């Protein structure tokens, strides 16, 4: 998958990683970039096509897929996070909200745009996941559960889309300096660095990219004895 002359859809493109994905797609020669957000009026990046999309709304997703039949690359970036313990009152409702966006939203968009990519010679999905796909912490356990599910969906999509020639790239990363991590006092990567590495992996034909050292260490630690996930309460997620 090459960015040059691509037609890109970025979900959650009004800020953070999504905004940077849209910006760098244009810089890499994309012919068109659809920048999707619940409120497209908040998208001010010159050169993109703002579009309305709430990934939890099936009707909006279907309408967008019908309207954007030229898309060759879908970046499933939209996501939400709520902190708190799994034992907190309201944790189930919080997890349900996150599942709707982080898992079902990603799958809903993928289902709608899979035929579009097939019609446009295969194309690609780039799914933004997390190191939290593999480890958990007390404060982000519900979020981590949704990212674990999203990782599994990502892998299932790769299998389902293989025959139509669609590349599926899963992106794992630790903390990124965006609104989502505001208030977390830990080292963070700049969005520009994350997106640059992600696009390089996409153009190299990769199926998975571990953006930072934390993700690489955690992935390697899954097969340790004891596994890294068993001691994750002492580690960032």
Query: Quick one: CA dihedral 206, 133, 7, 33, positive or negative?
Result: negative
pLDDT tens digits, 100-146: 999 999 999 999 999 999 999 999 999 999 999 999 988 899 999 99
pLDDT higher for 155 or 184?
Answer: 155
Render pLDDT for 167-190 as a digit per residue (tens, 0 to 9): 999 999 997 876 665 666 666 789
User: How many CB atoms are located within 10 Å of the residue 146 CB?
Assistant: 28
CB 105 within 8 A of CB 38: no
Closest CA to 77 of 27, 36, 24: 36
Please name every residue paired with 7 in a beta bridge, in sequence order, or none if there are none. 32
Whole-number pLDDT of residue 175: 77
d(C-alpha 219, C-alpha 76), whole Å = 22
pTM of the model: 0.94
Residues 29-45: pLDDT tens digits?
999 999 999 999 999 99
Dihedral of alpha carbons 225, 228, 230, 234, sign: positive
pLDDT of residue 237: 35
Average model confidence (pLDDT) across the chain: 93
Q: What is the pLDDT of residue 183?
A: 60
Span 17-25, mean pLDDT?
Answer: 97
What does the alpha-carbon distance between residue 210 and residue 192 come to, in Å, rounded to a whole number?
15
């Amino acid at each position: 998958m090459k960015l040059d002359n691509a037609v890109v859809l970025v979900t959650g493109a009004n800020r953070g990683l999504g905004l940077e994905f849209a910006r760098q797609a244009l810089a890499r020669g994309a012919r068109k970039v659809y920048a999707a957000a619940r409120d497209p009026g908040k998208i001010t990046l010159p050169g993109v096509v703002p579009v309305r999309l709430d990934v939890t709304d099936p009707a909006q997703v279907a309408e967008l897929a019908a309207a954007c039949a030229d898309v060759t690359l879908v970046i499933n970036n939209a996501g939400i996070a709520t902190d708190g313990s799994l034992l907190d009152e309201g944790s189930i409702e919080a997890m349900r909200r996150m599942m709707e966006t982080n898992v079902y939203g990603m799958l809903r968009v993928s289902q709608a745009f899979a035929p579009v990519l097939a019609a446009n010679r295969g194309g690609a999905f780039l799914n933004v996941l997390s190191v939290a796909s593999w480890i958990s912490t007390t404060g982000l356990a519900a979020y981590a559960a949704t990212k674990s599910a999203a990782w599994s969906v990502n892998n299932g999509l790769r299998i389902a889309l293989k025959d139509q020639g669609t590349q599926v790239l899963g992106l794992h990363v630790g903390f990124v300096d965006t609104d989502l991590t505001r208030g977390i006092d830990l080292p963070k990567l700049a969005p520009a660095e994350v997106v640059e590495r992600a696009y390089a992996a996409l153009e190299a034909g990769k199926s998975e990219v571990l953006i930072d050292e934390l993700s690489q260490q955690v992935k390697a630690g899954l097969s340790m004895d004891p596994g890294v996930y068993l001691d994750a309460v002492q580690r960032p997620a």
